[in-house]
Structure 1
């Protein structure tokens, strides 16, 4: 593999940016916005931003990475591994988890597999990205893992956040256990906290996001935030002018209306409870003056049959239709079933031509991309007095704010615009100028690149280059092998001497094909003593001290690149002092402590839950991995150190697919290396901590204990057979 370009070194070395946006249906044309709760404004944002970035002279390439979906109910586009977007920009789709479409809350168990697929993809590119930009919490988690493993800075955009959403749902009367199950808040919020702690730059659309939403998180360091409002495609969204609008677009709306010439109140959103369509319909339905003055057009996604929609969307649409009937609004409300995305700009122009108003009635609005689209179309708007709309109104002066929790206020604010032709014209004209000044993609990318250049100039650039040279220095001194067996020592490799001898004989017979490695919580010296005691040949690679050290072969050559990699954010003395404040933790003997590891014996009845220990460290602004095993040991490591991270580092360095690694373990500190694309073997004498892994597609639970369990795993995976053909067939398919 070729050496990487120096990261962000000069304008002569254009940047390679890896964008990650995982959920929803993402393609570069005819986007199906509103088809479900996950396919909304974020999809437009990441596609248009990728194209705009690729056009910048200092950017050479943008890869927008998303999920490959093979689902008979969806277009074949989403199963296309690569899709060009613009010169220098493309969509890359990688498979992970089931082939079918999944809503975002169900993706979490499969994200570790995607990390492995991303590593394999990046190995094939011949160059590492200079920057990873993740969108939303799920991609944030994947981006963080890649950033940790490869030493590449991460930029993150949250789009929406778990804590504020959880708070709103609880305030609305929803039960905590119900929403936790539906939205997977525990995993999402934990990931958001970790991304906030790690990312080099957090991009927000408004200052209010930082103050009110990110302010709910412990790790919100304001120095790493940048307010960069998104752009809008002004080539698509523009005022109506004198040209005629497409007859089909007018017919789509007018067939619902008794008097189609009246001004048109337009709303465009997903059928989501938070979008408050019920409150908008109440505002219209209970105000006769508003009904006399204007028609209402509701574009709420695309549907074939309401009964076939997901439960939350079905509830919204059913209540809408019932309310239209209850208020007897037939002939006054248009609610088309299918609206092609290509028609959306013409709907804005139709409303502007009829001197109507756009309305966003959402309960809360972090930004409000539709408001910018309306302003760019010469259409004044009414929006929530919350979050992003405040900034948009301040910048563009193109709309009015209202308390959208109050339907009467929505109605009165709409009437204020509809009934004042002078104010309508002023706001329509101001919106056109304001969008060009503040919300064009060129303005967004210009500000974004300034922040990125500052980021890449920081002191971290030096060690990132050093790490890159280690990662790309060619194959290691290990034999050129096809596969690798990596095992824990205690209670996995050691424990059954007879089975151990059989395993050693097998390894010797496969010497030219299979590398032998160990991954242990033991120190290097302790591991070497065990090998001599049990007559185990020296492994090709030794991952010791719970993944905080890597050494090679009989000479025990240290991997200096790994030490440099994991040194990031490691404050050993401060961590020891903070943990000394907590009950139930006692430092192990001095020989178990290392430069990159603190090891404790725990008193389970007295120690705090792991989440509380993590929060305690966060309170002290300390970052570390906490690994609890055997119900009595706690290891504290750098955030980049673990057995799993070490194996993925080696996979990258050796150029071996992770599917060529068979890993064996028995306890909690083995869990991370067992999940993902590695072939995991849990020996029969495993600790209860690994029970939750049962059922994962690439984790085999052996019946036999110790080395005999490893031998069963070798047989289960047919590890003795040549892998080249099987791997080439499986790399692009789901497990």
Structure 2
């Protein structure tokens, strides 16, 4: 479906990031608990990717919300960032700003709104890059409905949080969501080898061949010129603001271990004599979680002790210029410290390196790799406060060592380069977008039937092809088998029948049976009896009882009747899919059903994704599989119901009718030698 850069087409990339305040730079980090380094990652990645000649546009999709404490720009549906880059915001009924825990409750509504957004686009994105597991859950549904491949970047993983002693239901749920994301992702991009080789493997999911370690680049932080910043106002807190500074920048949460840094500073008198301590711990005047309030209260109490008064600054607010200016000040004999109990990557450490600042960093997680690569600092056990203080003094108290580490920082930070990241990430996108077709799914009526010569050619091709073949039809199982025999068409490897509400597979003894796992999946959010009661007052003619099924109700009617059914279901809040086809058939099926869902389920049994599937059809009940599969063949005799299909790479509208059109499409895909079709 989505051959990235296929045939010279330029790529449409969609980054999906739900949490925090995503807006055009500069970013005010810490304005909310979820407004952290991942936002810089997403925006800098998008900006650099958009400058590639192979990229058409980049859309950063996030939530739309309105909050009087935050910028009104978050209620804009779209925001220009740079040429080829926009931030596009999706609204749900809940337009409050939501922290991570509350965001989970809105995820179902956001997913529906996101899929509606994709459906309305003039062109589907070629790839979705999902950031964190919540975004991956949304991407999984888009993958299921539209066949858009997705790449997952976790940024931080709950399994390490559990290893640090945090074991509760929220952590367990997060780990489950991350495991689902790892399983479903077409590829996974991480920043460190620790994530790739240790953290991800702890989930017990096969990841070989899908994991790519691509370090991000250095966040762009120009040093402000002329404007007064916090670096100029440190005298408001410090008795001797001319001293070098020990600088830390992190959210006020326990895992960032900022109170331990204050205690380390207190326990090291020689360090206090030589330097001041400056900590930017978010924006103190915003609404905070209980944890953040507790951490800030502890930090303020420590700062108020007589030993520290006049040598520590905890500014209550800061902006991007303040951060840049403080990095520049720390480069003059000071040091940057990341004392986190565990740090997945450590973007601030490469920010510091770009400004020539030596670092002290936690030995747990990504900082080990960063410090080893750049060589600009020391690693410490974050639980050893004496060691933190001694390490800071070892750099601040030794000008020659400081100079060596500063030189190493500026000389080696080029290992973290956004251009290199952009090139490599686009190549990853291409590798998942260009999946070779590995399964064919065909409708029967008017797709494989309708032309005896075409049906004969298809049967000849099938006899000599090893490509797995699945029937996907609105007919019942018995009726589907009968019409295949009538047209002398080959038996498939599986039958998807009753408009994608039953998946029929064969056992080792050659007996056909309905896949129980697929049937169980369709039970989710499906109340057949309630739907039947809700639709009865409409008086729309039912099809014969034998056409119904456990996950399907069928009617005769017009497109207007189908619209009335959708309206009735929406009014009652009942969930179902309404499919209008062949100009007079209406099927109301389980919300998790449909031909695309059944193809995905069968493909997954064989280690395949929808992106590796080819679908061919002619009518409205084929729409979902034609949109979702990697390649779609629309035969020339297709009904007007398929006029609404979004033009895209992978959608092939052929010139031949019926099975001859299927053969034409297979030939275009290089899946068959030419089989002559008699006139």
What TM-score comes out, normalization by structure 2 length? 0.69
Return the alpha-carbon distance in structure 2 between the equivalents of residues 125 and 32 of structure 1. Answer: 31
Residues 699-718 of structure 1: pairs in structure 2 closer than 5 A: none
- Which one of 204, 210, 213 corresponds to residue 218 of structure 1? 204
Residues 179-198 of structure 1: pairs in structure 2 closer than 5 A: 179-180=168-169, 184-198=170-184
CA contact (8 A) 2:190 2:213 kept: yes
CA contact (8 A) 2:249 2:281 kept: yes
- Which one of 449, 454, 474 corresponds to residue 426 of structure 2? 449
Return the alpha-carbon distance in structure 2 between the equivalents of residues 66 and 286 of structure 1. Answer: 44
Return the alpha-carbon distance in structure 1 between the equivalents of residues 347 and 78 of structure 2. Answer: 27
Residue 176 of structure 2 aligns to a residue in which SS? helix
Return the alpha-carbon distance in structure 1 between the equivalents of residues 152 and 387 of structure 2. Answer: 36
Return the alpha-carbon distance in structure 2 between the equivalents of residues 298 and 210 of structure 1. Answer: 31
Residue 331 of structure 2 aligns to a residue in which SS? helix
| Partner in structure 1 of residue 562 of structure 2 | 515
CA contact (8 A) 2:218 2:417 kept: yes
CA contact (8 A) 1:18 1:64 kept: yes
Q: Quick check: 203-212 or 286-295, which moved more? A: 203-212
| Partner in structure 2 of residue 349 of structure 1 | 328
| Partner in structure 2 of residue 612 of structure 1 | none
CA deviations over 1:487-511 (Å, ceiling 9, x no partner): 9795346689xx9476337999984
CA deviations over 1:425-461 (Å, ceiling 9, x no partner): 111111112112x112112112222322333333259
Residue 32 of structure 1 aligns to a residue in which SS? coil
CA contact (8 A) 1:134 1:157 kept: yes
* Displacement of 1:364: 0.7
Residues 516-535 of structure 1: pairs in structure 2 closer than 5 A: none
Question: Would you say 1:332 and 2:314 are equivalent positions?
Answer: no
CA deviations over 1:71-99 (Å, ceiling 9, x no partner): 22221011011011111111000112521
- Structure 1 546/135 Cα, relative in aligned 2: closer, same or farther at 3 Å? closer
Return the alpha-carbon distance in structure 2 between the equivalents of residues 463 and 440 of structure 1. Answer: 42
Residue 515 of structure 1 aligns to a residue in which SS? helix
| Partner in structure 2 of residue 311 of structure 1 | 290
CA contact (8 A) 1:362 1:384 kept: yes
* Displacement of 1:514: 2.5
CA deviations over 1:358-383 (Å, ceiling 9, x no partner): 00111111110000000000110000
Return the alpha-carbon distance in structure 2 between the equivalents of residues 412 and 501 of structure 1. Answer: 79
Pick 1 or 2: higher relative contact order, CA cutoff 8 A, min separation 6.
2
Return the alpha-carbon distance in structure 1 between the equivalents of residues 284 and 591 of structure 2. Answer: 52
| Partner in structure 1 of residue 603 of structure 2 | 568
CA deviations over 1:475-532 (Å, ceiling 9, x no partner): xx9xxxxxxxxx9795346689xx947633799998452318999xxxxxxxxxxxxx
| Partner in structure 1 of residue 232 of structure 2 | 251
| Partner in structure 2 of residue 542 of structure 1 | 587
CA deviations over 1:390-427 (Å, ceiling 9, x no partner): 11112111111111110000011111111222221111
- Which one of 384, 388, 394 corresponds to residue 406 of structure 1? 384
* Displacement of 1:340: 1.2
Return the alpha-carbon distance in structure 2 between the equivalents of residues 451 and 516 of structure 1. Answer: 41
CA contact (8 A) 1:385 1:401 kept: yes
| Partner in structure 2 of residue 592 of structure 1 | none
Return the alpha-carbon distance in structure 1 between the equivalents of residues 130 and 321 of structure 2. Answer: 27
CA contact (8 A) 1:115 1:142 kept: yes
Return the alpha-carbon distance in structure 2 between the equivalents of residues 73 and 648 of structure 1. Answer: 42
Return the alpha-carbon distance in structure 2 between the equivalents of residues 337 and 53 of structure 1. Answer: 35
Residue 401 of structure 1 aligns to a residue in which SS? strand
Residues 680-691 of structure 1: pairs in structure 2 closer than 5 A: none
* Displacement of 1:208: 0.7
Return the alpha-carbon distance in structure 2 between the equivalents of residues 570 and 646 of structure 1. Answer: 22
Question: Would you say 1:440 and 2:426 are equivalent positions?
Answer: no
RMSD of the TM alignment (CA)?
3.8
Question: Would you say 1:392 and 2:370 are equivalent positions?
Answer: yes
* Displacement of 1:190: 2.0
CA contact (8 A) 1:245 1:346 kept: no
- Which one of 40, 45, 52 corresponds to residue 44 of structure 1? 40
CA deviations over 1:590-621 (Å, ceiling 9, x no partner): xxxxxxxxxxxxxxxxxxxxxxxxxxxxxxx9
CA contact (8 A) 1:7 1:461 kept: no
Residue 258 of structure 1 aligns to a residue in which SS? coil
Q: Quick check: 194-203 or 370-379, which moved more? A: 194-203
Return the alpha-carbon distance in structure 2 between the equivalents of residues 331 and 502 of structure 1. Answer: 77
Return the alpha-carbon distance in structure 2 between the equivalents of residues 417 and 212 of structure 1. Answer: 31
| Partner in structure 2 of residue 715 of structure 1 | none
Residue 232 of structure 1 aligns to a residue in which SS? coil
Question: Would you say 1:491 and 2:542 are equivalent positions?
Answer: no
Return 5+ residue gaps in structure 2 as ranges: 448-473, 475-524, 543-553, 567-581, 611-620, 629-640, 645-679
| Partner in structure 1 of residue 511 of structure 2 | none
What TM-score comes out, normalization by structure 1 length? 0.64
Return the alpha-carbon distance in structure 1 between the equivalents of residues 77 and 301 of structure 2. Answer: 43
- Structure 1 623/153 Cα, relative in aligned 2: closer, same or farther at 3 Å? closer
| Partner in structure 1 of residue 344 of structure 2 | 366
Return the alpha-carbon distance in structure 2 between the equivalents of residues 111 and 655 of structure 1. Answer: 31
| Partner in structure 1 of residue 126 of structure 2 | 130
CA contact (8 A) 2:146 2:627 kept: no
CA deviations over 1:325-370 (Å, ceiling 9, x no partner): 23531110011111112321111001113x1000011111111000
Return the alpha-carbon distance in structure 1 between the equivalents of residues 528 and 399 of structure 2. Answer: 80
* Displacement of 1:244: 7.4
| Partner in structure 2 of residue 504 of structure 1 | 540
- Structure 1 164/623 Cα, relative in aligned 2: closer, same or farther at 3 Å? farther
Return the alpha-carbon distance in structure 1 between the equivalents of residues 427 and 555 of structure 2. Answer: 56
Return the alpha-carbon distance in structure 2 between the equivalents of residues 377 and 22 of structure 1. Answer: 30
CA deviations over 1:678-702 (Å, ceiling 9, x no partner): xxxxxxxxxxxxxxxxxxxxxxxxx
